[in-house]
Amino acid sequence: MAGTKKLLRALAGEVMDVPPIWMMRQAGRYLPEYRATRAQAGDFLSLCYTPDLAAEVTLQPIRRFGFDAAILFADILLLPQALGADLWFATGEGPRLSTVTTQADFAALKPANAIHDRLAPVYETVRILSRELPADVALIGFAGAPWTVATYMIAGRGTPDQGPAHALMAEDLALFDALIDRLTEATVDYLSRQIEAGAEAVKLFDSWAGSLHGEAFDRYAVEPCRRITQALKARYPGIPVIGFPREAGERYVGFAKATGVDCVALDNSVDAAWAAENVQVDGCVQGNLDPRHMVTGGQVLIDETRRVVEAFSRGPHIFNLGHGITPDADPANVQLMIDTVRGR
């Protein structure tokens, strides 16, 4: 059923001599062709909502590097916008949103099933990609995990420690839980439409899972991911799900079993040899080269790439960075990483 696409074979548990490879934020500002298309779109959100241009930037890194997978070009914050939050990107400062901190703010949000008009251009991007991608390249859809998306909705911006979200959890647990439930439900609907439009695997980005500890990790990182995975697999049997509880540390252990995801994406703070022994035992893992090597390059990049490939070589593995590539990266270093993984 996984066919011949390497990414889908790895997600189905196959061990390969050369792992499939793609890169988080592979369509991004480090590429001159991305910057040109973004300028054509005018701004980041217009790029996300213009299907032809969003498909174009998704395809750019495939053409340039021949990655084994493409990830839909969109953003995790489009979902809160579709639920009714205001969203804008302050140049050089990252995202800004209207906040959800009171019952009245929550009551103003739309129901989960009312998101699709706003998100229709995203589904159209997926349809274009599923027609235009080379036959051996898999298409990954994605969404933010409920906790991570909630941290942005509560604070109205990115925060170093997710303080406002932790504060709301402490002050009004019913409201916090209602927001997580709404996001969980909306994420199932959003990813379902991506799958129907042609996404062949989906990834849940829980970028701020690392600030959840103890029971809170179970309740807000594990449980929403488990619910979303279970609902998707009930609707689309066999759809592979990648979970990315970034900076989960020791909580990566058992995450796949507890949630039902097919693959756990590892950030670069965990040692690959440790993760092979403790996480890959349960199935496919993705990761986890430090993105800074895409800036610094050289023999260290080659050595570290080989170390990651070797550490995960005895189980199913998708080669990737431990987090997104940064705008100051050198595309030549990306090529060097790919050549090293593919043994050239």
Ligand X SMILES: Cc1c2[nH]c(c1CCC(=O)O)Cc1[nH]c(c(CCC(=O)O)c1C)Cc1[nH]c(c(CCC(=O)O)c1C)Cc1[nH]c(c(C)c1CCC(=O)O)C2
CB of residue 146 to ligand X, shortest distance in Å: 13
CB of residue 205 to ligand X, shortest distance in Å: 4
Task: Tell me if 287 is assigned to a ligand binding site.
Answer: no
Task: Tell me if 152 is assigned to a ligand binding site.
Answer: yes
Tell me whether residue 19 or residue 144 sits nearer to ligand X (CB atom). Answer: 144
Instruction: Tell me the sheet residues that pair with 265.
Output: 286
CB of residue 343 to ligand X, shortest distance in Å: 25
Is the distance from CB of 23 to CB of 67 less than 8 angstroms? yes
Tell me whether residue 194 or residue 315 sits nearer to ligand X (CB atom). Answer: 194
**Tokens linked to 262:** 């097919």
Concatenated DSSP letters of 164-215: HHHHHHHH-HHHHHHHHHHHHHHHHHHHHHHHHHT-SEEEEEETTGGG--HH
Task: Tell me if 166 is assigned to a ligand binding site.
Answer: no
The residue number with the shortest CB distance to ligand X is 207
Task: Tell me if 123 is assigned to a ligand binding site.
Answer: no
**Tokens linked to 191:** 């990813």
Number of other residues whose CB lies within 10 A of the CB of residue 117: 9
Report d(CA 84, CA 116) in Å as an integer: 12
Cβ neighbours for 307, distance < 8 A, ≥ 6 positions apart: 272
Task: Tell me if 25 is assigned to a ligand binding site.
Answer: yes
Task: Tell me if 26 is assigned to a ligand binding site.
Answer: yes
Tell me whether residue 85 or residue 276 sits nearer to ligand X (CB atom). Answer: 85
CB of residue 17 to ligand X, shortest distance in Å: 26
CB of residue 206 to ligand X, shortest distance in Å: 8
Positions marked catalytic:
25, 29, 38, 75, 152
Tell me whether residue 129 or residue 239 sits nearer to ligand X (CB atom). Answer: 129
- Give me the sheet containing 201-206, strands edge to edge: 69-71, 138-144, 201-206, 241-245, 263-265, 284-289, 317-321
Q: At 284, phi and psi to the nearest 5?
A: -60, 140
**Residues in the site for ligand X, rule: CB under 6 A?**
24-29, 38, 44, 71, 73, 75-77, 94-95, 142, 158, 205, 207, 324
Number of other residues whose CB lies within 10 A of the CB of residue 59: 20
Place of tokens 């929550």: 106
Tell me whether residue 62 or residue 77 sits nearer to ligand X (CB atom). Answer: 77
Q: Which residues are annotated as a binding site for substrate?
A: 25-29, 75, 152, 207, 323
